[in-house]
């Protein structure tokens, strides 16, 4: 819940000026719903994609205040985040709710970006793989492994989001490898092609080392994506 028309315009114009279609990384932004129209008008036809931050699991109907997948498609979105830790923790989305949103995204023709990750208590109790495995299983059991050919996963340890604490490259790589291995046991090709992003206090100083890990395919960036300068410094860190 950051931004304004002025901020969105300056951020997107800055990103367009500082990135290119033949850059090494794909770029996408996830503005708050009120700014999707402005985002579409600025980015349409460019190399930068955009998406929503969540969606309602229902296709349409009387759901005051909610936004459907087809509405996001109508606004030119390619992607939608599902299961961001703030949705899970503050708005009570269970693993089952997240799976329903993932399915709704696919049904609407969007590519879901599924966020998974453990809390600090869960990490300290050595439950990281159990928690991430459970979050993945809820989705796999609902839509099947093949659906992951049209999805992205973001590993976001909850303790690293917005806190300034980053998982070390080794900590992140270990969970990314766990995720890829788990999906490989179901479909090696899909798991090999899947993009697994790391999120949690990514910034211009730690991005290069994180992105150099073999199973880290990019970043899901929060605070450091709010100005073009900071975001482009991370974009430039892609090897």
Catalytic one of 66, 84, 176, 229: 84
- Are 115 and 199 in contact by the 8 Å Cβ rule? The answer is yes
Residue 199 touching ligand PGA (CB under 6 A): yes
Residue 200 touching ligand PGA (CB under 6 A): yes
Residue 218 touching ligand PGA (CB under 6 A): no
- The kind and range of the H/E element at 88 are helix 85-90
**DSSP per residue over 129-191, as a string?**
HHHHHHHHHHHHHHH-GGGGGG-EEEE--GGGSSSS----HHHHHHHHHHHHHHHHTT-HHHH
Min dist. Cβ of residue 210 to ligand PGA (A):
11
Q: How many residues bind ligand PGA (CB under 6 A)?
A: 12
Rule CB under 6 A: choose which of 19, 222, 231, 235 binds ligand PGA: 222
The angle subtended at Cα 220 by Cα 25 and Cα 167, nearest 5°, is 115
Q: Is 118 a catalytic residue?
A: no
Choose between 57 and 200: whose C-beta lies nearer to ligand PGA. 200
Cα 111 to Cα 80: distance, rounded to the nearest angstrom: 6
Stretch that binds ligand PGA, among 50-58, 65-73, 199-207, 231-239 (CB under 6 A): 199-207
- The kind and range of the H/E element at 112 are strand 111-116
Stretch that binds ligand PGA, among 40-48, 87-95, 98-106, 155-163 (CB under 6 A): 155-163
Residue 109 touching ligand PGA (CB under 6 A): no
Q: Is 156 a catalytic residue?
A: yes
Q: What are phi and psi of 82, to 5 degrees?
A: -130, 140
Residue with tokens 């159990």: 130
Catalytically active residues, by annotation: 84, 156
Sites of contact with ligand PGA (CB under 6 A) = 156, 161-162, 199-202, 220-224
């Amino acid at each position: 819940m950051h931004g304004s028309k002025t901020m969105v315009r300056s951020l997107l114009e800055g990103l367009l000026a500082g990135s290119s279609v033949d850059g090494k990384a794909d770029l996408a932004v996830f503005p708050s719903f009120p700014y999707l129209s402005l985002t579409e008008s600025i980015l349409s036809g460019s190399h930068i994609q955009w998406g929503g931050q969540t969606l309602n699991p229902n296709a349409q109907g009387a759901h005051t205040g909610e936004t459907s997948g087809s509405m996001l498609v109508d606004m030119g979105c390619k992607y939608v985040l599902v299961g961001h830790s703030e949705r899970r923790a503050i708005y009570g989305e269970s693993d089952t709710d997240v799976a329903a949103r993932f399915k709704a995204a696919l049904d609407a023709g969007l590519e879901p970006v599924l966020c998974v990750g453990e809390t600090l208590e869960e990490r300290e109790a050595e439950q990281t793989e159990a928690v991430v495995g459970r979050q993945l299983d809820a989705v796999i059991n609902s839509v099947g492994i093949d659906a992951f050919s049209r999805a992205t996963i973001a590993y976001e340890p909850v303790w690293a989001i917005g806190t300034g604490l980053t998982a070390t490259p080794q900590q992140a790589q270990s969970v990314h490898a766990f995720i890829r291995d788990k999906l490989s046991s179901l479909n090696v090709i899909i798991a090999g092609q899947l993009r697994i992003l790391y999120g949690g206090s990514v910034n211009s100083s730690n991005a290069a080392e994180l992105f150099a890990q073999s199973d880290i395919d990019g970043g899901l960036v929060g605070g450091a994506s709010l100005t073009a300068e900071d975001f482009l410094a991370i974009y430039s860190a892609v090897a």
